A and B are shown apart, each in its own frame.
Chain A
Amino acid sequence: MGRQVAIVSAGFSEHASKRSDVSMPELINEAITDCLKNAPSVGFEDIDAYVNGNMPAFEGANIPELWMTDWMGARNKPLLRVTTGGTTGGTVAIAGYYTVTSGIPGVDTVLAVAFEQQSQGDTSVGLASVAYGEISILNTLGISFDQLSRLLSAGAAIGVAAYQATTYMRKTHITEEDLARVVVQNRRNAAKTWWTHLKMPDLTIEDVLDTPYVQYPLRYGMVCPASDGAVAMLFTTEEKAKDMCDIPVYVNGVASVANETAVLGYDGSGSAQLDPSMQLGAMRSSELAYSQAGISFPRKEIDYAEVYSPFPNQELMWVEKLGLFEETTAPQMYQTGVTALNGELPINCSGGVNATNAIGASAMERPAEAALQIMGKADNQVPKTVHTSIGHGWGGSLNLCTLMVMSDEPQRKWR
């Protein structure tokens, strides 16, 4: 078994739709500076290795990690780039965990950085290059690209999320009002956190339902923004963590599981998963991560959850699939305020991906925020004491789920 890993600190850059005041390296430098500010005893000389990642091709720039080494302080140090599409952030965090837990001599402290500056490039071009592997095979069946873009419909990820939303709404018999309620909770929470993008403190359900459809059943007001931003996390060993900060957050379980794609399937030949909201990958990844962390009753043992939810129906879907609530009961939980800041199980108190979506960074902002909640340093701090929290990510070719379980106590020794 590897070494126990702890998170010492996490930092964010400011997020906005267009960070035209900074370049890509300056943006990640902002996040790293904020990260090191939270752990004053750590300097660049203490960091032994770096993990870095962003969504490929979204900025139209390849190998960005190599021309920003100096801005990260990574000169003459081991550097690794990981990228898995939408889950890039989650995978970067997991890679940081792996680097520390493997016990390489001389590598104890690892800085993980994930970033995205979408305003510099064309998101549609980037998405086309990512999705191409999956959809190209449909060309063999005689469906041309023009036809394909119509079938998958404009709006990229939303085309798939709308399919998920329809089946989820059919299963749980909810209306658009229930979806809007999730959005309202997220964006009001985001207004209380300094680094978020869409801050809307006075948003109401009526405001959201007043906006036009992007694709039924998702409206303009429900859809995540496209942000520029970066996030950094500092991983180290159990022994060093105690010197570096007051409350180290221990990483007790990680998982990254891919399942059959929910819409197109392998080779574009259709999926055997007829229900896109089934998400067996999420269930399997939660099973793996919880068993590593020794969590048998996730509903009782987890105090705080950050889930990856660009669209409100996904937030409802994930909290059920990750075992936080019973199947089909999530909409009631949002209605009764269980998931609010003062509730029993607060979810996405930073506003989640619905309020801030710098794609490459999004999935890492989830464990970062969940760790800050345990440390008690989050902006929108949960009033109750958080002992165990989870950070979830979703992406890849719509089928990859990453999960990180964090706690204020080290992993149970019996494992």
Chain B
Amino acid sequence: MSKMTQRKSLDYIKKDYIKTRTMPGSWYLTSYKFKFNITHMQPFLEKLKEKKLVGNQCSGCNRVFFPPRLVCGKCMLKPDKWIDIRDTAKVSTYAIAFLKDKETGEIQERPMVLVHHDGADTASIAELHPDVDVKDTYVGMPIKAHWRDEVTGGLMDIEYYDPFEDDAKDIEEKE
């Protein structure tokens, strides 16, 4: 539905103002190469190449950050302890995006999720398996990381998350 018909369907009448002059113009912002410091997360990036996940733990509040963080915002300490994290996770929250494929023009429904890895205290953004029916997604759904075949040492090595049957007895569900 176009925006015009949408407005009509909602009884919204657009106001007409006496227009001033319209002059064409464009604003092009140049492209950059951004540089970032990755010294503090070197162990994390190396472990990713082995398809393993680690987070770092703050010695003040014992929170485990995944992905790792330079400074703990609560304690103002540098988390220095590296902790192994499972590749199983839970859906912390989700939203369904409607994305248009640039080539075919098809609209795809994709659940975008915040994943909460078992063993970590933080959530991070990710995607679910494209074949997952969006209606089956729910908060607290157990999921598992699906790795790419070729790993490069970045978080994008996890291509997407697969849903799976969570039969582990030792993981308590968090409220």
Residues of A at the B interface (CB closer than 8 Å) are 16-21, 23, 60, 122, 125, 136-144, 147, 150-154, 159, 162-167, 170, 198-203, 207-208, 210-217, 220-221, 260, 263-272, 274-276
Contacts and interface: CB of A to CB of B under 8 A. Distances in A.
Contacts of A139: 34, 36
A259 B1 CA distance: 39
A275 B156 contact: no
Given A20-B20, A140-B36, A211-B6, A163 B70 contact: no
A221 B10 contact: yes
A260 B73 contact: yes
Contacts of B1: 211-212
Given A21-B18, A210-B9, A162 B95 contact: yes
Contact of A151 (B34, B120, B127, B153): B127
B9 A166 contact: no
A274 B92 contact: yes
Interface of B: 1, 6, 9-15, 17-20, 22, 27, 29, 34, 36-38, 41, 45, 63, 65-71, 73-74, 92-99, 112, 114, 116, 120-127, 134, 138-139, 152-157, 174
B154 A275 contact: no
Contacts of B94: 163, 166
A269 B36 contact: no
A142 B156 CA distance: 6
A216 B96 CA distance: 5
A322 to B, nearest CB: 22
B95 A21 contact: no
A266 B73 contact: yes
A168 to B, nearest CB: 9
A19 B20 CA distance: 10
**What are the 4 A-B residue pairs with the smallest beta carbon separation, nearest first?**
A142-B154, A270-B122, A216-B96, A162-B95
A250 B29 CA distance: 46
A216 B134 CA distance: 10
A272 B70 contact: no
Contacts of A268: 67
18 contacts: A16-B15, A17-B14, A18-B17, A142-B155, A151-B126, A154-B97, A154-B99, A163-B94, A163-B114, A199-B13, A215-B98, A267-B71, A268-B67, A269-B66, A269-B67, A271-B122, A271-B123, A272-B121
B97 A153 contact: yes
Q: Max chain A CB contacts within 10 Å: which of B41, B65, B122?
A: B122
A16 B14 CA distance: 8
Nearest to B64: A272
B52 to A, nearest CB: 15
A167 B67 contact: no
Contacts of B11: 200-203, 207
A216 B109 CA distance: 9
Given A151-B126, A260-B73, A142 B153 contact: yes
A294 to B, nearest CB: 31
A200 B17 contact: no
A147 B138 CA distance: 23
Given A20-B20, A142-B155, A212-B1, A270 B6 contact: no
Nearest to B38: A140
Q: Max chain A CB contacts within 10 Å: which of B14, B92, B116, B152?
A: B92
Given A159-B95, A167-B139, A151 B112 contact: yes
A162 B114 CA distance: 12
A97 to B, nearest CB: 28
Contact of B41 (A122, A140, A199, A221): A140
Contact of B65 (A21, A23, A270): A270
A170 B139 contact: yes
B83 to A, nearest CB: 14
Q: Max chain B CB contacts within 10 Å: which of A137, A140, A154, A276?
A: A140
Q: Max chain A CB contacts within 10 Å: which of B38, B69, B97, B139?
A: B97
